[in-house]
Structure 1
Amino acid sequence: MPKSEAAELITAARIRKKVSWDDLAKEVDAPLVWCVSALLGQHPMTAAQAERACSMLELDSAVAESLQRQPSRGIDPALMSDPTIYRFHEALAVYSPALKELLHEEFGDGIMSAINFKVDFARREHPDGDRVVITFDGKFLDYRW
């Protein structure tokens, strides 16, 4: 089963069964954002994780097998026009040059790893409207000549 088809089945079952992404992350014992990304096809899960998620959602072994496959990472270009996804790209386009300068000033010549990497998501109450807090936590990889 293609990972995209498994993701559709997972999303539909999650809504039908009223299971939150957080509930699934706790069930498979994985960080929230990583777990959602894996269930949407961007990371391979272990057999135990896939089986626990599918058991919770009452999905068959074909979905569990798909969750264990190595993904082709990336985003469907058609999703780039989704307003939420576009805003992430817009924010990175605006702030990436400044973040690059700050990274080099603080750490030197190198990059932030997106492999040895964690991302966290939180909601923070604010009087002007709740805030979205997203934290990138990547290992610094210095260039070595």
Structure 2
Amino acid sequence: MSIPQVTQKLLAAKKEKGLSFADLEKILNHDEIWIAALFYLQATASEEEAKLLVEALGLDTSYIQELTAYPVKGLGPVVPTDPLIYRFYEIMQVYGLPLKDVIQEKFGDGIMSAIDFTLDVEKEEDPKGDRVKVIMSGKFLPYKKW
């Protein structure tokens, strides 16, 4: 997977400033996951949000145009090779259909929105090894009959 040049520059500036995505959450008043998605050109900033980010990172205003452009979303048609990203792919291969059945038992025939959606990551301390807690919350959209 190739990382866009603008993403590389944003990440380098964040590192140089010693900022975390949680720090940027306080500046932009948006969730750290959304901000990370913006870095990877998977979200679109408003002009004001882009200006705040560029200013916080000490970057030239020429980045505003890239951050406010409508993105082409997704990783592409290939299976991801990064081990952490692949685990999510693997989780859906193993648990996707069971998850779909459970959701449909509870809600009916439909989908979970990825547009009206939030995603949070929490660290759970555990004596046997810290755990990653991923919380997805999407609006249920029933299929329409016509």
TM bin, normalised by shorter chain, reads over 0.9
Which amino acid in the other structure matches residue 103 of structure 1? I
Tell me the distance in 2 between the aligned counterparts of 1:78 and 1:140.
28
CA contact (8 A) 1:21 1:36 kept: yes
TM-score normalised by the chain length of structure 1: 0.92
Q: Per-residue displacement from partner, 1:80-120 (whole Å, max 9, x unpaired)? A: 11111111111121111111010111011111111111111
TM-score normalised by the chain length of structure 2: 0.92
Q: Which has the higher helix share?
A: 1
Which amino acid in the other structure matches residue 80 of structure 1? P
- 1:128 to 2:144 alignment: no
Please name the residue that 1:98 is paired with.
98
- Which 10-residue stretch deviates more, 28-37 or 68-77? 68-77
RMSD over aligned Cα, in angstroms? 1.6
Please name the residue that 1:55 is paired with.
55
Please name the residue that 1:44 is paired with.
44
Tell me the distance in 2 between the aligned counterparts of 1:79 and 1:45.
28
Task: Indicate how the Cα distance of structure 1 residues 44 and 15 shifts in structure 2: closer, same or farther if over 3 A, else same.
Answer: same
Tell me the distance in 2 between the aligned counterparts of 1:141 and 1:61.
39
Tell me the distance in 2 between the aligned counterparts of 1:37 and 1:140.
22
Runs ≥4 residues deviating over 4 A: 76-79
Q: Secondary structure at the match of 1:118?
A: strand
Deviation at 1:5, TM superposition (A): 2.2
The number of residues matched between the two structures is: 143
Tell me the distance in 1 between the aligned counterparts of 2:77 and 2:123.
28
- 1:35 to 2:35 alignment: yes
Tell me the distance in 1 between the aligned counterparts of 2:21 and 2:31.
10
- 1:23 to 2:29 alignment: no
Tell me the distance in 2 between the aligned counterparts of 1:112 and 1:39.
24
Q: Secondary structure at the match of 2:133?
A: strand
Structure 1 portions without partners, runs of 5+: none
- Where does 1:78-93 land on structure 2 (aligned, <5 Å)? 80-93=80-93
% identity of equivalent residues: 36
Tell me the distance in 2 between the aligned counterparts of 1:79 and 1:66.
27
Deviation at 1:6, TM superposition (A): 1.7
Q: Secondary structure at the match of 2:70?
A: coil
Please name the residue that 1:143 is paired with.
143
Task: Indicate how the Cα distance of structure 1 residues 79 and 60 shifts in structure 2: closer, same or farther if over 3 A, else same.
Answer: farther
Deviation at 1:52, TM superposition (A): 0.9
